[in-house]
Structure 1
Amino acid sequence: MKINIKAFLSLTVLLAASFSACKKEYFNRPPKSQITLDNYYQTAEQVRTSTTILYSAPWFGYCTKGGWAITEISGGNGRTWSPDIINFQDFSVTGTNFEISSVWNSLFIEVAQANGIINNLPTKVPSSVDQAVVKNALGEAHLWRALAYFHLVRIFGPVPIIENSLDYVDNYQVNRHVVTDVYKFIVNDLKYAEANCSPAVRTGSSPSNARVSSGSASALLAKVYLYMQDYPNARTQAEKVIASKEFKLYGIDVPGKTFSDLFLTANNNNEESIVALQWTGSGGYGRGNPFQGAVALNGIITGTGDGYGQMAPTFDLMDKFDATDLRRKPTYMIPGDKYNEINQASGGYTVPSDANSQGTHAQVKKYIVGTPADNGGVGGAQSSANNTYMMRYADVYLILAEAVMAGAKTSTDPVALNAINTIRRRAGLSNLTVIDRSGFVPNPDYTPGSNEKGKRWPTNYKDDLLDERRREFAFENDYFFDLMRLDGFNKTEHPIALQIIKQQDKGTSDNSNPPQRYGNGYLTNVTSANLLFPIPATEIVADPKLKDPPVAYPFK
């Protein structure tokens, strides 16, 4: 059932049951249990567990398809023929699209859940509960609310800022707020989280690493400041996180581990994880990670009857990987690749020669973890148990490099070089001696009318940092947002992003070996207006104010 703005503004019950109780009729009947806000928060453990919901269930609607359809398919890393998400490929999504509604509802449910904690804990928790526990829970809620808004503003632009959902239950007509104020709100929330969440030092892969910390807030602040092009603050926050030594890079700070190991269920909540969604894998549909079920090539991989191959890598993404890049095989599969961690009972899984679900003779590997037996007996149909990263420590290094450059076209600064080269060394690539972000440069291989790799366009976009981020975080729901910030975080026109998107090869090929591309995947009609996704039509019907120009937010 779709949730209009009145419904999600009412979602303030904090237990996991509240996620399944988002039907309108729920708000018109008294609770059947004896648990109320006045008697629930009586112990430190009850306060701690009140934030658990923020780490999983509300995000499910974002993670099922809409989130990766926006970031990976619209971004140009993935392509599809699947009719329910193909509109994200050519930017023809309308307000009636089911997945865009799922994204909107999912993120505002997260906001409502966080609001419930933020507004109730200060008055409902007795003085007998350790105030450090209360402060940490409030910090967690502020961080997750900030993260939800960080997604909302990057997808929809101006959106309503809602601090207390109950304020709008009877009058749910709300305006959108200007982008700069949404970012200010995000920064304020993250500063609160940084000051109130407990510090941590992460060791090994452990459930004790699952919850966010003050360092998690610092890292997210670095990323938000980078988007705002506030380079001094982005650098300060990134250097703070690195100096804290709370997090560690697999394969650099953690010997014996590799980039590939980051995406195994056994390594959930590892030292590189800054913020991650926590999926149970044993709770059925809606409680586990749905990504593998949607994009894995087949049921042999999943062992649970799903594996629909609904997204495959584009040629444009594959072109960015050097043959020696150790991230290639853990990111996408090509025929002949063998993965010992999948289908272990049969000696591993080898990608068949005819693997070609979406026309590019390659399949997604990242987050594809295999059968329940491959994962300690956990997992089910569209319900894997591997975490979804919302931010990894590698991001902090690349943020630092970009913040040090502070908009410069090239740099030989040793701090910036060390940061990007640390990530490159883990990938088995040589060190850069200069970071080049020249932008559009003449293409010496340009051949008018050619469909061959690298010859179709008179200019190429040279950006070592953007390319490194793309290789590092492909299929981690980030690349489209990276493209959109190239022209400025609060702009309505996106000439750089548009030109890059128009030059992406999202097309298909024949069955030759190697495959010959058809050159049929280039966009010509996309405009800046297409790059901002529409608010769901049902929301506008329920709240016509969402059509009005955004207004300033009255900060307290």
Structure 2
Amino acid sequence: MNRFRNTYKLFRLAIVFTLLSSCAEDFTNRPPEDAISLDTYYSTNAQVESATNGMYSRTWFQFHNKFFFAVAEVGSGNMYSGSSDVSAMRNFSLNGSDPELNQGWRSLWANIAQANAIINFLADRVGPGVDDAVLQNTIGEAYFMRATAYFYLVRLWGPVPIIENNLDYVSRPAINTNRIEDVYTLIESDYNTAIEKLYEKVRTSNYANNGHVSKGSAKAMLAKVHLYQGEYAEARQLAEEVINSNEFKLLGGPQVPNKSFGDLFTYPNNNNEESIFALQWVTDGNYGSASNCNTQFGISTAALTTSNASYGGVFAPSQDVLDLYEDGDIRKHETIMFPGDSYPNMKVIVNGTTEQVGFTVPAADQIGGQGAGAAIKKYCQGIVNGNATGPVDNWAMMENNTYIMRYAELLLIHAEAVLAGGSSTSDAGALASFNAVRVRSNQPALASITFNDIFLERRRELCFEGDFWFDLGRIPRAQATAIIAAQNRGNMFLEEHFTPDESDFYLDYPDNDVAKNPLLLADPVPYEFN
């Protein structure tokens, strides 16, 4: 991914560096206009194309590093952790003083600030040699990123301030939140603008060309937004447009039979044909540019470690997901490492010193980490091993992408949109989409599907990818509460159950930001769109 290694020069005083510092910044902080040095730098197409590179990694780092998994996976009951910095959602004790909550919040606002700078200022600061199509595509990427950041904000916190230009709030940092429906209006508008401006693509085996988002990426994300609001006709139309475009394909499906589900999560397959939008991590020598999943997942004991770091296994599978998969489902082996499972191509360290390629997962009580009796395989590649894993930085972070959306999810969105809230469907199109995911996983096709079939298939397919918490948030509260209350949210040694209340489905605003902007706690107000 050399194109993502370019120096990110959008801001001399970029907000991305403030989000990586220890000082607390509120979400209205933004780079002042005179800190945007575009006039001389953005004089060629290549320079304009690189303007968004940092928005595929660094601006997302503190959201992704711990917060994303601590909320979306531990909170949903997919993951277990006993580590104090990431375990609060296990028993729903997360509050506004939590450092990781603050990091996730700041990271999303950093994305919005970066996007706003490009949307509002880039067109006036490019040279005459820049093609308009290149400029518009770059601005389209910024709209895409802003929509995606707001999509996370509204699902995590509910009402949040809508900020389309950070400079509008220089003299008034106290800002009301806006209604959830208004935030969704902005998200839909931004994705639609992205659809208008972004390039049309077809994902091929030339993976180096697939890193940036496309018109199809924006349509797929917008289909998901409509689905979350129960707007099934709109979700179905967009999903079918993406399916019919043939831009994306399933690895291990008929169009890419030489690959498999497991290949999705390895470095050599970054930006494969199934990737709709993925974070593009790079080992550029700076903390916060690469992914820590390989360390935070996997196995870390004195006898066996799957990471180059001196620690690991911060997150583990929950007891609830250990029996999630049916017999023969290939996703089981590629998602969770169970005792006795073999991984012949992963390089590990045994007994603290010896490197070897290939290992068998030890007994449940010897996996270590969180006492889960199993470990997370998805995104765990093993210690650095040439092109098999890609490079590693000084913090043992690596370059394998993190998916925000894959084509498999778009197919499941399509099936659910066709179902449209009904009790079941045998629609040929819905079944084709749903069964493509099932068959790729070595599971039998179904002749009729219900919402529960789709809901369960989403959990199996997207386990540890940060979606199940949001799926729980969009079903009736009583149903979601019952699902969570029934989960064993302890480890293999101690069964524990926790029942969320209504307030637990939205997070607290960070205390630091509430102190600076008490209006966060006031009733949300309508947003006046221009």
With the length of structure 2 as denominator, give the TM-score of the two structures. Answer: 0.91
Whether 2:529 is the aligned partner of 1:540: answer no
Cα distance per residue 1:401-438 (max 9 Å; x no partner): 0000000122222221221111000111111122133x
Unpaired segments of 5 or more residues in structure 1? 1-10, 438-462, 488-493, 511-517
Q: Report 1:511-550 matches (<5 A).
A: 520-524=495-499, 526-550=500-524
Which stretch shows the higher mean deviation, 354-363 or 243-252? 354-363
Q: Which residue of 2 aligns with 1:150?
A: 151
Whether 2:394 is the aligned partner of 1:373: answer no
Q: Which amino acid aligns with 1:467?
A: L
Aligned-CA RMSD value? 2.4
1: distance between equivalents of 2:13 and 2:249?
A: 31
Identity %: 40
Unpaired segments of 5 or more residues in structure 2? 1-7, 349-354
Which stretch shows the higher mean deviation, 353-362 or 533-542? 353-362
Q: 1:396 aligns with which of 410, 413, 423?
A: 410
Q: 1:322 aligns with which of 321, 326, 329?
A: 326
Q: 1:495 aligns with which of 478, 481, 486?
A: 478
Query: Residue 294 of structure 1 contacts residue 306 of structure 1 at CA under 8 Å; is this kept in 2?
Result: no
Which stretch shows the higher mean deviation, 301-310 or 206-215? 301-310
Which stretch shows the higher mean deviation, 280-289 or 268-277? 280-289
Q: Which residue of 2 aligns with 1:464?
A: 453
Q: Which amino acid aligns with 1:322?
A: E
Q: Which residue of 2 aligns with 1:479?
A: 468
1: distance between equivalents of 2:52 and 2:410?
A: 25
Which stretch shows the higher mean deviation, 64-73 or 495-504? 495-504
Q: Which residue of 1 aligns with 2:115?
A: 114
Cα distance per residue 1:39-93 (max 9 Å; x no partner): 3322222211111111000101011111111110000101111111221101111
Q: Deviation at 1:295?
A: 2.3
Q: Structure 1 244/314 Cα, relative in aligned 2: closer, same or farther at 3 Å?
A: same
Q: Structure 1 377/137 Cα, relative in aligned 2: closer, same or farther at 3 Å?
A: closer
User: Where do 4+ consecutive residues of structure 1 move more than 6 Å?
Assistant: 23-33
2: distance between equivalents of 1:405 and 1:196?
A: 31
Q: Report 1:165-244 matches (<5 A).
A: 165-204=166-205, 206-244=207-245
Which stretch shows the higher mean deviation, 415-424 or 344-353? 344-353
Q: 1:433 aligns with which of 442, 447, 453?
A: 447
1: distance between equivalents of 2:385 and 2:346?
A: 9
Q: Report 1:287-366 matches (<5 A).
A: 287-298=289-300, 300-343=304-347, 346-353=356-363, 354-366=366-378
Query: Residue 199 of structure 1 contacts residue 213 of structure 1 at CA under 8 Å; is this kept in 2?
Result: yes
Cα distance per residue 1:346-389 (max 9 Å; x no partner): 23122111214323311111000111225455013341110001
Q: Deviation at 1:296?
A: 2.4
2: distance between equivalents of 1:107 and 1:62?
A: 7
Q: Deviation at 1:140?
A: 0.4
Q: Structure 1 290/376 Cα, relative in aligned 2: closer, same or farther at 3 Å?
A: closer
Q: 1:409 aligns with which of 410, 417, 423?
A: 423
2: distance between equivalents of 1:405 and 1:128?
A: 50
Q: Structure 1 323/129 Cα, relative in aligned 2: closer, same or farther at 3 Å?
A: same
Q: Deviation at 1:144?
A: 0.6
Q: Deviation at 1:234?
A: 0.3
Q: Structure 1 307/260 Cα, relative in aligned 2: closer, same or farther at 3 Å?
A: farther
2: distance between equivalents of 1:126 and 1:80?
A: 51
Q: Which residue of 2 aligns with 1:451?
A: none
Q: Structure 1 205/155 Cα, relative in aligned 2: closer, same or farther at 3 Å?
A: farther
Cα distance per residue 1:114-134 (max 9 Å; x no partner): 111001112222444210011
Q: Which residue of 1 aligns with 2:87?
A: 86
Q: Which amino acid aligns with 1:347?
A: V
Whether 2:104 is the aligned partner of 1:103: answer yes
Which stretch shows the higher mean deviation, 93-102 or 115-124? 115-124
1: distance between equivalents of 2:429 and 2:30?
A: 58
2: distance between equivalents of 1:249 and 1:30?
A: 44
What is the number of equivalent residue pairs in this alignment? 505
What is the SS of the residue equivalent to 1:409?
coil
Q: Which amino acid aligns with 1:505?
A: N
With the length of structure 1 as denominator, give the TM-score of the two structures. Answer: 0.86
Q: Deviation at 1:323?
A: 2.1
